[in-house]
């Protein structure tokens, strides 16, 4: 029997029992749609984290108050996987910056004062993140490019450089160069707008951040002393020596701050380390949710098996006739396996389509609920060609696997007994 004949018989059988076929397909559709939606969300989040934290630069690391204990080591690994905050650290000071600058291999040090502030423009109010920076150090360390205007320069006062989303999406009237906005009741002039980069959860991207000279930042951010910093960014001369420089900085600061490993009150972290930690958490959660969603595929497979067993019983006489006409056992198996594979294929294609819709709705809802600032104006989901091919292949595999036992049962039927079946 030719494959075309097998395909026609399989299609005729499915069309003849269309209601049962669609109900069986529905089980695969639900499972595939759930898996596609969940994996696309996980892929989108991981891509966003990688893009934003990668934008900090491979040759930079950050010193922040508070100590986080983690396993492992390495410049790119932040000492490794899991982190546990064990103490509340005091803010960093000018003394810490001087200590860091004295370490061999350190190229640039940028003390940062950061916080949340209320900004007002044309009677509209919103809350954004602000960073007070040293203009020269920030200019050398930032990877963000200008869309228009200029960067901050030494001697600047109440001027700001704003992220792309703040300029174009946060207010009804877009912001532009030389516009005046109020930050915590003080007037600031916009001198630069950064290109869009996207951001995830406040990591890496500058789309939702306002940059001001550090002196001006201290006037609008509460609870920040004149000699204190929220964090310190460090750029090394040679990224290949990053591990060594981080270790030296950590040792010097421990001596300067009179702390030990048990009483340490600061954390030295690289962007890659944070990326690996967050990606690991997202990956684990994604795997867990994907496993739950895959259970529905198992239920769908049971539905296919049940439908195929019923089909074998209903077509027993047809099987006997086919065998009497010379159809081999292997061809009978191929007939039923083709039928179950078609169910898996159709269910997979429909599931991918519904998964597309579900991931789109999830992305839109996430943007509205969490806020556009957390999403960087982009989508929180990512559907790759590899995911589509995996979904199609896996759904067909599920169909074939579920139809294997019924197909073997059909192939083992004796022609005479089968033709006598009522």
Q: What is the pLDDT of residues 234-273, one digit of tens each?
A: 988 887 777 788 889 989 999 998 888 888 888 888 766 7
Strand partners, 144: none
User: Among 74-83, 86-95, 229-238, which is the least confidently predicted range?
Assistant: 74-83
- The rounded distance, in Å, linking the Cα atoms of 297 and 295 is 5
Q: Domain ranges for the chain, please list them.
A: 3-53+276-420, 90-264
- Answer whether residue 280 shows pLDDT above 80: no
| Per-residue confidence (pLDDT) for residue 150, from 0 to 100 | 93
Tell me the pLDDT tens digit for each residue of 54-78.
555 567 888 888 875 543 444 444 3
Is a pLDDT exceeding 90 seen at residue 359? no
Structure-model confidence comparison of residues 376 and 90, the more confident one = 90
Q: What's the pLDDT score for residue 375?
A: 46
Q: Measuring CA to CA, which residue among 145, 351, 104 is closest to residue 244?
A: 104
Write down the pLDDT at residue 310.
Answer: 84
Confidence of residue 11 (pLDDT cuts 50, 70, 90): confident
- pLDDT bin (cut points 50, 70, 90) of residue 83 is very low
HSE, CB side, 13 Å, CA atoms: give it for residue 410.
Answer: 32
For 301-349, write each residue's pLDDT tens digit. 888 888 888 888 877 788 788 878 887 888 888 888 888 889 889 988 9
pTM: 0.59
Average pLDDT for residues 371-386, to the nearest whole number?
59
Judge whether residue 286 has pLDDT over 80: no
- Flag whether pLDDT at 385 surpasses 80: yes
pLDDT (mean) for 348-371: 76
Q: What is the pLDDT of residue 332?
A: 84
pLDDT higher than threshold 70 for residue 370: no
Closest C-alpha among 80, 155, 160, 84 to residue 119? 160
Percent of the chain with pLDDT over 90: 17
Residue with tokens 């989303």: 165
């Amino acid at each position: 029997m030719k494959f075309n004949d097998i395909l026609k018989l399989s299609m005729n059988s499915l069309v003849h029992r269309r209601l049962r076929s669609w109900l069986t397909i529905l089980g695969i559709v639900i499972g595939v749609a759930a898996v596609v939606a969940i994996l696309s969300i996980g892929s989108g989040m991981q891509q966003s984290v990688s893009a934003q934290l990668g934008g900090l630069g491979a040759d930079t690391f950050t010193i922040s108050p508070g100590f986080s204990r983690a396993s492992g080591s390495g410049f790119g690994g932040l000492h490794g996987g899991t982190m546990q905050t064990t103490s509340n650290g005091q803010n960093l000071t000018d003394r810490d910056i001087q200590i860091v600058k004295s370490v061999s291999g350190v190229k640039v040090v940028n003390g940062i004062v950061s916080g949340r502030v209320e900004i007002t423009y044309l009677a509209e109010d919103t809350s954004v993140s602000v960073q007070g920076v040293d203009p020269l150090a920030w200019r050398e360390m930032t990877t963000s490019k200008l869309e228009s205007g200029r960067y901050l320069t030494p001697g600047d006062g109440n001027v700001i450089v704003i992220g792309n989303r703040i300029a174009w999406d946060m207010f009804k009237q877009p912001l532009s160069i030389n516009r005046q906005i109020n930050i915590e009741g003080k007037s600031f002039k916009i001198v630069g707008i950064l290109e869009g980069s996207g951001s995830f959860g406040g990591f890496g991207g500058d789309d939702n951040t306002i940059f001001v000279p550090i002196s001006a930042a201290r006037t609008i951010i509460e609870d920040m002393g004149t000699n204190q910093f929220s964090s310190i960014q460090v750029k090394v001369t040679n990224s290949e020596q990053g591990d060594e420089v981080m270790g030296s900085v950590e040792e010097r600061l421990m001596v300067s701050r009179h702390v030990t490993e048990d009483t340490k009150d600061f954390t030295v972290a690289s962007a890659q380390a944070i990326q690996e930690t967050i990606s690991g958490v997202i990956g684990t959660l994604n795997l867990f949710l994907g496993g739950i969603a895959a259970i529905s595929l198992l239920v769908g497979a049971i539905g296919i098996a049940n439908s195929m067993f019923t089909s074998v019983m209903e077509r027993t006489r047809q099987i006997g006739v086919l065998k009497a006409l010379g159809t081999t056992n292997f061809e009978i198996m191929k007939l039923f396996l083709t039928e179950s594979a078609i169910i898996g294929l159709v269910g997979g294609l429909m599931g991918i389509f519904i998964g597309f819709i579900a991931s789109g709705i999830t992305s839109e809802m996430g943007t509205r609920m969490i806020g556009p600032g957390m999403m960087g104006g982009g989508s929180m989901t990512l559907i790759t060609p590899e995911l589509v091919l995996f979904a199609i292949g896996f759904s067909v595999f599920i169909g074939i696997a579920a139809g294997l036992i019924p197909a073997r049962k059909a192939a083992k039927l004796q022609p005479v007994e089968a033709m006598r079946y009522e």
